[in-house]
Amino acid sequence: MKPYLAIGLAIVALLSAGPIAWADAETDLKAKLPEMFAKSAAHYKALDAATTPLMKGKPVNTLENGDLYLPHGWLAWKGRAEYDMHSVYWWTAGHYPGTLWYLYEATDDAFFRERATVWTEILAPIAKVENDHDVGFMMNCSYGNARRLLKTDTYDALLLKTATSLSTRFHPRLGLIRAWGPMEDKSEFTVIPDTMMNLEILEVAAGLPGGEKRFDEIARSHADVTMKNHFRPDGGCYHVLDYDRETGHVKTIRRGQGASCETAWSRGESWGIYGYAMMYRFTKDARYLAFSRKLADFAMNHTNMPADGIPYWDYGRPGEERDSSAGAIMASGLLELSQWLGPAEGAPYRAFAVKQLLALSSPDYFSEGNEIGHFLLKHGTGFKPNKLEIDTPLNYGDYYYLEALLRFRKLAKK
């Protein structure tokens, strides 16, 4: 599909999507911001009070003083209703403190600065982790936001150490960062689109005093090879690719968290939209901007995209569960994409993000009271093929929802 045709179709779809005219949607969302930030703040004050006593879990060998846990989600099945707490070593550990930092940014309430600092600083051991590509999620969402909002260099050494640790997962011949497993394991070399999000800490670290040029080079290399192999010609994504270490060719494609190898897992698609727009921010490489746009066109114009813009958990499974986290990530990525494209070309992407944020801010997705343990967004889907985290809140959904609202607030002020 020609880019101008995709944009035209997106605009037509937005104009005919519902009773709120496209021209009025931004006004409506802007008017809702104070309410949504206030509701979110109230939810997270209650969430923090409930989960702080659960921070210290049973001792394990990974930390000398015993393991520490952060809120990841809410379990309400088989007669249970309780917090799903995960270790500081779990990939989403940075999203809860990151959400607190965003609430501090949104409200200027010192409570969130203080609580965000407490939850952030328990993640310090992650800087030395070399067996997981998700250290970028963990440390940039927490310490990265702390550095930005507090305007301090106190955390620079930890961010630089994290980038160094992540760089050990880079295979020079393949030009890729391995997702899982020890680097010396020769049986496989798995790569997933999620890693695009972890490149941000490499770019952040490259720009810090003492940062190394190789951090940027690694990030660019991974983005380039991922762009070449991880997405179909139409822009749809695969989840797990296993590479041959010697030839650099893809040996196998795996379903992973998607429905099949032939469909597109919606959160992976959102990671790509966001990740390539982010890479353009740091590099100003036009290829990344064009690729983010291609992935966005695929998602926005997909036959199975629901009218409210919140995708099904997989684009090949219409009528099944939605994934509010995929919608929140996509909205945040689309807003950054629209900013770099400029007012005219960016308009349909910004408008689609506004539609998504209005949906996520409605009672259809935004929780009331304690129905989901004071998390914000209902209807997230984490790992349906393994029957895990289906139709549930997810801490990263809340994180990217608030990030998207903050990005919209900044754009609306211009």
Q: Which of 355, 354, 400 is nearest to 377 (CA)?
A: 400
273 CB contacts (<8 Å, ≥6 apart)? 292, 295, 296, 299, 329, 330, 333, 334, 337
Give the mean pLDDT of 339-352: 96
Kindly report, residue by residue over 198-250, the tens digit of the pLDDT. Answer: 999 999 999 999 999 999 999 999 999 999 999 999 999 999 999 999 999 99
Say whether 224 is catalytic. no
SS3 of residue 137 by DSSP: helix
Specify the higher pLDDT residue, 285 or 22: 285
What does DSSP say about strands 240-243 and 82-87: parallel, antiparallel, or unpaired?
unpaired
Task: Say how far apart CA 350 and CA 347 lie, in whole Å.
Answer: 5
75 CB contacts (<8 Å, ≥6 apart)? 81, 82, 83, 84, 392
Q: Which of 73, 55, 29, 50 is nearest to 367 (CA)?
A: 73
What is the pLDDT, as a whole number, of residue 16?
45
313 CB contacts (<8 Å, ≥6 apart)? 259, 265, 266, 267, 320, 321, 322, 323, 326, 381, 384
- From the list 48, 84, 132, 194, the catalytic residue is 194
What is the pLDDT, as a whole number, of residue 67?
83
pTM reported for the whole predicted model: 0.94
Specify the higher pLDDT residue, 204 or 5: 204
Give the mean pLDDT of 42-51: 98
**76 falls in which pLDDT band (50, 70, 90)?**
confident
What is the pLDDT, as a whole number, of residue 306?
98
What is the pLDDT, as a whole number, of residue 21?
62
What class does CATH assign to 3-413?
mainly alpha
Q: Is the pLDDT of residue 17 over 90?
A: no
CB 102 within 8 A of CB 164: no
What is the pLDDT, as a whole number, of residue 267?
98
Give the mean pLDDT of 328-339: 98
The type of residue at 29 is: L
SS3 of residue 354 by DSSP: helix
On average, the pLDDT of the chain sits at 93
Cα 356-362-363 angle, rounded to 5 deg: 140
- HSE at residue 374, side-chain half, CA atoms within 13 A, is 16
Task: Say how far apart CA 255 and CA 245 lie, in whole Å.
Answer: 21
Q: Which of 400, 355, 393 is nearest to 376 (CA)?
A: 393
State the DSSP code for 51. H
Q: Is the pLDDT of residue 104 over 60?
A: yes
- From the list 48, 84, 134, 398, the catalytic residue is 134
Give the mean pLDDT of 24-49: 97
Give the mean pLDDT of 17-26: 65
What is the pLDDT, as a whole number, of residue 414?
82
Say whether 194 is catalytic. yes
**262 falls in which pLDDT band (50, 70, 90)?**
very high
What is the pLDDT, as a whole number, of residue 59?
43
State phi, psi for 356 to the nearest 5 degrees.
Answer: -65, -45
State phi, psi for 252 to the nearest 5 degrees.
Answer: -145, 155
What is the pLDDT, as a whole number, of residue 22?
61
Residue with tokens 């409210």: 308
203 CB contacts (<8 Å, ≥6 apart)? 215, 216, 219, 278, 279, 282, 283
Task: Say how far apart CA 241 and CA 194 lie, in whole Å.
Answer: 12
213 CB contacts (<8 Å, ≥6 apart)? 206
What is the pLDDT, as a whole number, of residue 15?
43
- The percent of residues in the chain predicted with pLDDT above 90, rounded, is 90
342: left (phi over 0), alpha (psi -120 to 50) or beta: left
Q: Which of 219, 97, 92 is nearest to 166 (CA)?
A: 219
Give the mean pLDDT of 306-328: 98
Give the mean pLDDT of 55-83: 74
